[in-house]
Amino acid sequence: MSVVRHGVYLPPFGPFGEPSVLVDLAVRAEAAGWDGVFLWDHVVTDAMPIADTWTTLAAIAQATTTLRLGPMVTPLARRRPWSVARQAATVSRLSGGRLVLGTGLGSDESGDFSRFGEPAGLAERSSRFDEGLEVLRAMLSGDAVRHHGEHYQVTLEPAAPSPIPLWTAASTSHPHVLDRAAASDGFFPNPGPRPPEPEELARLVTRVRPAGRPFDVAVAGNASPAWDEPTGIDLRALAEAGMTWWMESLIHFDPLELSLEVVDAGPPAI
């Protein structure tokens, strides 16, 4: 069975839209024994206010000492990969190397693409994501970058490397999506409102986990006994299937008081 760490996973909007609330939540999470706090990354939402993910992560990095932190996930298809590389390297240094860089395709559910005239089609987003990952990895490696692609042109001399774990999210089991995950340092299967069943997770882990190097598998859902209703999630079975991170999901329509009770209760037992 995998050794499992526990994170809190939430959107920085609605009741969590004030940066000071998120920093306080992270400090409380660290005190309660959680291993990480991870934030969604959006530009617009119907549940205002909304906080910028990267600015807030920098504040959390300064306010905590052991907590892992990161975007879960930042959509590279609508980000300049060189800006993400610089933001990630900065937060990593601020936190003493505690950043985990979660990346994903992104969606246009709230208009994060279309409201700003960005291409929102699946094929375009996938192409930009793949090329963005190539640029991002090259920059974080510290090697010289000579990238001439369909979407990005980058020419950089060698620089100091930034060794940051890079995870990729997947909402489907399309072979290309799983190949993308296998090339990363971690995998975040995020198919919908509930986590994958243990049998499905085991199949996915067998498909994507590379041999001979560390590789994380993060699963999100609700398992804390502090929730008002039983959750029915079998964390032990998910750990046996290969999960290495459990992400306790706090949602923007949950009352803030209940969410803080979940945080203060600490990680659910496995």
Token pair recorded at residue 157? 């001399």
| Structural domain that includes position 255 | 5-265
In degrees, rounded to 5, the angle at the alpha carbon of residue 39 between the alpha carbons of residues 36 and 44 is 175
Instruction: Judge whether 141 lies within some domain.
Output: yes
pLDDT band of 231, cuts 50, 70, 90: confident
Find where tokens 């340092």 sit: 185
Structure confidence at residue 186 (pLDDT): 97
Q: How far apart are CA 211 and CA 108, in angstroms?
A: 35
State pLDDT tens for residues 99-117. 999 999 999 999 999 999 9
pLDDT in the model for residue 191: 67
At 232-249, the pLDDT tens digits run 899 999 999 999 999 999
Which pTM value belongs to this model? 0.96
The stretch 122-150 carries a mean pLDDT of: 96
pLDDT for 17 = 96
In the predicted model, what is the mean pLDDT of the chain?
95
The reply to whether 103 falls in a domain is: yes
Mean pLDDT calculated for residue range 206-225: 95
Q: Is the pLDDT of residue 11 over 90?
A: yes
DSSP strand E in 116-254: where? 145-148, 153-156, 166-170, 186-189, 216-221, 245-249
Give domain status of residue 197, yes or no.
yes
Distance CA 106, CA 77 (A): 7
Q: How confident is the model over 129-140, as a mean pLDDT?
A: 97
Percent of the chain with pLDDT over 70: 100
Work out how many domains the chain is built from and give that number.
Answer: 1
Q: What are the residues whose beta carbons fall under 8 Å from the beta carbon of 200, sequence distance 6 or more? A: none
| Amino acid at position 117, single letter | G
Residue pair 245/216 in contact by the 8 Å Cβ criterion:
yes
- State yes or no: pLDDT of 252 exceeds 90: no
Q: What is the pLDDT of residues 25-49, one digit of tens each?
A: 999 999 999 999 999 999 999 999 9
Q: How many residues does the chain have?
A: 270
64 φ/ψ angles, rounded to the nearest 5 degrees: -125, 170
Contact, 248 vs 224, CB < 8 A?
yes
- 170-215: pLDDT as tens digits: 988 899 999 999 999 999 998 677 899 999 999 999 999 999 999 9
CATH at 223: 3.20.20.30
- Position 87 scores a pLDDT of 97
Residue 135 domain-assigned (yes or no): yes
270 in any annotated domain:
no
Residue 228: what pLDDT? 86
